[in-house]
Structure 1
Amino acid sequence: MDSSFHFYVSNRFPCCVTGYHRKVSHTIRRSRPPFRAFRLTFAVAAATAVILITIRPIATFAAPGATAAPPRISTAAKPQRAHTAGFAPDNRTLFAPIAYLAPPGPARASRAITILNRQLDFQRKISFHPKLAPALQDVVDLLPPRQSTMIRAAALYSKPGVPWRAEPDGTHQICVTGRPSDGDYLYRLAPESRSPEEPARFSGVFGLKPAADSTPTSISSVTGTLGGELMLDTYGIGALVDASADALREVHGDLRPPWDSSPGAFNHHDRAALEKFHRQMPHLAAKFDHYLKFNNLLDEFNSTAGPVVLFNVDAEVRQDALKKYPLLYDFYRKVVPAVTAKSAIVDSHGNFWMREAFDHGHIHFTMMIRDGLLTPFNAAMQPAGEGLALNELARGSYRTLASAQVTSLAMNFGLANLGFATDYRRDSGSVTFATRMDAVPQLIAPPGVHEVMDLIAGDFLRGLATGNGGMKVKLSSRLLPNGIYDFSSVTTAQLNYSPTLELLARIGDAIANKHNDQVRAEERAFGEELFDAFVADYNDARPAIVALDLDKDSQPEKSK
């Protein structure tokens, strides 16, 4: 299930939206990434897909207080202490964290099943079966492909034929509504933007406002706004945070010696985790086996503070498995081997909370868990501080840096220093992520070519990072008095006009448009294939989930 609240209605029109008493309030000033969903990939191998999707945006906070000295890791077998119970027992269902999707009270797991059933039905429609009404399709045909919308936004403001809604301040808007329609999710053009009033309804707006120094004949810069609001009768971000915190306890192999002496060795720890995954989620595990080759999954060490699990994925996509999706296969075979990308969430001491990378076809993802808590680690992949209980976090600030590059003709091209700062807030009924770009992206290019590229794209990137305080994204969910959750997201950015970039974008669009619709259809089909496997395992696991209501030791703690 994709709970990222990122909706796209086509390859061109960008529609993104993308009750608890807190136990402890932490103020954190060490690490920070933009809120974005953890993709339905490799974390599922160690836990449950529906829950771990949310770990990526939430589990990136530095622990409060000063960083403790990292304990020394030893390969010698030591008695496991009582706090090893922080990890979930091997016989507990991987779907146990789902119970946290329901408010505390009797029959919580059973109520969570009812809630998740509604969410899964909705998620299938909105994620894999979007449908555009004819009038909206006509507007989409007038807009540039979504991959170049930002670059061409200033020119788009005055494009003839687009049925803009003109606001008094000069803003041009396109408003959209969305609702379920049988097995699809139908988007329509709307005369104005209004908050939805029923569950599973969506309202979105795409707006462009000229800069103060613009004239009717010369629009050199615009402020772009992309916003959306969605009503759900299932759960809010807070419940996903609580479920994610519990899901971290599932991430382990057998927690037994012989312990690993260094990261990256595939041994009995990895096999134990994979065997549990295959036993409890056989349908999804079969899909992973079909599409992925795992070189490593996790490493388990012992320290003076007890067992440490390094969730340390090294996986490769089996290219031939993608042949059933010919356009995706062709893209992966030709383009992906030349691509490298990475992101690292670090604190002020240089310690990591999470790392992910794509390196010429190899997929890497790393995080550390101790006592069932997300734990910082250093460059040597040793614990570097106390763990963090995500469900107890009321506020925090965190940061991430990312880069991506493509190698062509023995030369590297790309972007580095993609930095974002986020403030996280949570109270009894709401969760908010407020993110801004806090660094000017740096171009990666060979000497000589770099100067030319900076002339072409430098002003656009500087405007994106610094204009109007930098690109901003705000995502939130709040519980309304009627028990419905209101999700909202707003992205704003200054988009400077660059005629050279626009020309390059047009060339790229002409190439991409040839197969864009078909590629998007294949992406959705691939996603639904994994989704179906997850749902099959979830349906099989329902008796084990219901049994949690009878097992006092397995019941989620009540909110305090």
Structure 2
Amino acid sequence: MAASFAAAIIITIGGNASCAAASPANPAPVPTAANTRFAPDSRTLFAPIVCLAPPGRARASRAIAIFDRQLAFQRKLSFHPRLGASLQHVVDLMPPRQSTLIRAAALYSKPEIPWRDKPDGTHQICVSGQPDDADYLYSLVQQWRGPEEPAGFSGVFGLKPSADSTPDSVSSVTGTLAGELMIDTYGLGALVDMLADTLREFHGDLKPPWDTASGKFDHHDRAAMDRFHRQMPHLAAKFDHYFKFNNLLDEFNSPSGPIVLFNVDMEVRLDALKKYPLLYDFYRKLVPAVVAKSEILDTHGNYWMREAFDHGHIHFTIMLRNGLLTPFNAAMQPTGDSIALNEITRGSYRTLASGQVTSLAMNFGLANIGFTTDYRREPGICTFTNRMNAVPQLVAPPGVHQVMDLVAGDFLRVLATGDGGLNSKLSSRVLANGTYDFSGGFTAELNYSPTLELLARIGDAIAKEHNDKVRVEERAFGEELFDAFVADYNDARPAIAALDSGNSDRREESK
């Protein structure tokens, strides 16, 4: 799901610091040389944050104020979550999150969990969240109530028994996990515009000799890395310390303009993680055991994005032509017209994912995890709606696969097709007071099968390794990178503010 959202917001737009806003009344303009070119080296890498503020006077200064508020909130939300005592008690009663779906029907009948009962038989756990000094505090509450103040959160986890269930035997449940967040910064639409403009920064020197094949680290990669080090020295130093880049991008020439294949192949430097010993140990065990892939495709089977974790190699691939997102094939060749996605107000795309883990010298996992995503955007509202479009396929060794299919096949079939199939939604809308309401969640029918305990135990084994103490170190690692990003952002404030004067735009037009 995260990959689907990331693909949808990898969007490029035209213009300089003034960023276009999608409107259903205004069709996408025909791309021109002026509004599709890559950003010049002279532009600050932080210029795209201007898109976070509505058009008008002093837009860059207003964007800085908005981004300041978001960074302060994001630090609490992402790196300092804290559970109230009553909510922690509930979490302790729940199975590890990797196996919650498998055990959901059995979980429904667990009396020690302090469920709130609804008239239709639904069992709910309701949560609220709000900043608490440097932390973000989540608390157990008696009933759902939407947030009323900026930075407030409301969440619910619910299980509803199927129609053929009885009080003594719950055969399946419809599970719902949903949340709502109010913030005073920006909505999904502005985030799409910012990330779209950021895409123009993805390039090396755009000079010959051009690449003839992908995957070779050369002067194009070095030019991109040099700019990264020059403009974001704190974050670049952290990346140098923690990651090894085997490739970053490849640049090709074409009659319609330069083509950049942003083609990342990087590895975590394991020794650098030793300052986080629990995270180091977990990741060291993860590298030889896990392979996961995700792809964004159109109806013709062309790729718009590919990402993978393959035995420690982290891959991410998109293609840009003159700064516009471009479809490509398995041979990394362009296969269609480039598009300015930020001008699109509605559309659909497909996500296909797979993952497997090696356990007891055998490979277990899922393939053909497919979703169709519908994207809609109109003034003040932006929505992503996802639905599972195929029954996932089990990955298991010969001889074991047939048995696994017998015990898990029905669970997967019901997951994909039961009660409308697994679906999720993420949206934002601007409220009358100028704040933004984010809402999201998923629902799915979850069948009960006691013989799925084998899969549950595999999930529990992963969960045991990825415990609360590991997650604490993960957040510390993430905050270390976050701090470096904020340091670079603070250094770039004068260059961002200068965008209000138009000097940066004139420099770009003169190139």
Structure 1 and Structure 2 fold alike (TM over 0.5): yes
In terms of mean alpha carbon deviation, does 411-420 or 281-290 score higher? 411-420
- In 1, distance between residues paired with 2:8 and 2:269? 27
Query: Which of 487, 493, 496 does residue 447 from structure 2 map onto?
Result: 496
Task: Note if contact 2:292-2:309 (Cα within 8 Å) is conserved in structure 1.
Answer: yes
- In 1, distance between residues paired with 2:265 and 2:398? 33
- Post-superposition shift, 1:428? 0.4
| 2:242 corresponding residue in structure 1 | 291
- Gap change, CA 1:535 and 1:412, over 3 Å in 2: same
**Residue deviations 1:182-204 (CA, integer Å, cap 9, x gap):** 00001111111011111000000
- Gap change, CA 1:430 and 1:553, over 3 Å in 2: same
- In 2, distance between residues paired with 1:473 and 1:508? 23
Matches within 5 A, 1:245-284: 245-284=196-235
Matches within 5 A, 1:330-409: 330-408=281-359
| 2:21 corresponding residue in structure 1 | none
- Gap change, CA 1:415 and 1:471, over 3 Å in 2: same
SS of the residue aligned with 2:236? helix
- Post-superposition shift, 1:145? 1.9
- Post-superposition shift, 1:270? 0.3
| 2:136 corresponding residue in structure 1 | 185
SS of the residue aligned with 1:303? coil
SS of the residue aligned with 2:149? coil
SS of the residue aligned with 1:465? helix
Aligned residues: 487
**Residue deviations 1:159-210 (CA, integer Å, cap 9, x gap):** 1121111111110111110000000001111111011111000000000000
Higher RCO (C-alpha under 8 Å, 6+ residues apart): 1
* 1:482 partner amino acid: N
- In 2, distance between residues paired with 1:236 and 1:514? 36
Task: Note if contact 1:83-1:371 (Cα within 8 Å) is conserved in structure 2.
Answer: no
- Please list every run of 5 or more consecutive structure 1 residues that lacks an aligned counterpart in the other structure: 1-33, 39-53, 62-80, 556-560
**Residue deviations 1:370-424 (CA, integer Å, cap 9, x gap):** 1211111122212111212122110001101111123456643221101000111
In terms of mean alpha carbon deviation, does 404-413 or 195-204 score higher? 404-413
Aligned-residue CA RMSD (Å): 2.0
Task: Note if contact 2:36-2:324 (Cα within 8 Å) is conserved in structure 1.
Answer: no
- In 1, distance between residues paired with 2:33 and 2:74? 40
- Post-superposition shift, 1:37? 6.0
- Gap change, CA 1:243 and 1:504, over 3 Å in 2: closer
- Gap change, CA 1:463 and 1:82, over 3 Å in 2: closer
- In 2, distance between residues paired with 1:362 and 1:511? 19
Task: Note if contact 2:69-2:185 (Cα within 8 Å) is conserved in structure 1.
Answer: yes
Identity of aligned residues (%): 75
- Post-superposition shift, 1:115? 0.3
| 1:229 corresponding residue in structure 2 | 180
- In 2, distance between residues paired with 1:252 and 1:271? 10
- Post-superposition shift, 1:119? 0.5
| 2:18 corresponding residue in structure 1 | none
- In 1, distance between residues paired with 2:244 and 2:198? 24
- Post-superposition shift, 1:508? 5.1
Q: 1:168 aligned to 2:80?
A: no
SS of the residue aligned with 1:218? coil
SS of the residue aligned with 1:259? coil
Matches within 5 A, 1:2-41: 34=1, 36=2
Task: Note if contact 1:241-1:390 (Cα within 8 Å) is conserved in structure 2.
Answer: no
| 1:432 corresponding residue in structure 2 | 383
Q: TM-score scaled to structure 1, two decimals?
A: 0.84
Matches within 5 A, 1:454-533: 454-502=405-453, 505=456, 509=460, 512-513=463-464, 516-533=467-484
- Post-superposition shift, 1:59? 3.2
- Gap change, CA 1:514 and 1:365, over 3 Å in 2: closer
* 1:227 partner amino acid: A
| 2:20 corresponding residue in structure 1 | none
- In 1, distance between residues paired with 2:115 and 2:408? 28
* 1:148 partner amino acid: S
SS of the residue aligned with 2:40? coil
- Gap change, CA 1:507 and 1:407, over 3 Å in 2: closer
Task: Note if contact 2:127-2:140 (Cα within 8 Å) is conserved in structure 1.
Answer: yes
- Post-superposition shift, 1:350? 2.3
- In 2, distance between residues paired with 1:340 and 1:365? 14
- Gap change, CA 1:507 and 1:99, over 3 Å in 2: closer
**Residue deviations 1:455-502 (CA, integer Å, cap 9, x gap):** 222111111111112101011000011101000012101011111224
- In 1, distance between residues paired with 2:122 and 2:6? 37
- Post-superposition shift, 1:333? 1.6
* 2:398 partner amino acid: P
- In 2, distance between residues paired with 1:321 and 1:334? 16
| 1:98 corresponding residue in structure 2 | 49
SS of the residue aligned with 2:253? strand
| 2:62 corresponding residue in structure 1 | 111
- In 2, distance between residues paired with 1:504 and 1:262? 42
Query: Which of 394, 406, 410 does residue 443 from structure 1 map onto?
Result: 394
Task: Note if contact 1:472-1:491 (Cα within 8 Å) is conserved in structure 2.
Answer: yes
- Gap change, CA 1:356 and 1:37, over 3 Å in 2: closer
- In 2, distance between residues paired with 1:497 and 1:229? 29
Task: Note if contact 1:60-1:353 (Cα within 8 Å) is conserved in structure 2.
Answer: no
- Gap change, CA 1:87 and 1:463, over 3 Å in 2: same
- In 1, distance between residues paired with 2:365 and 2:245? 28
* 2:274 partner amino acid: K
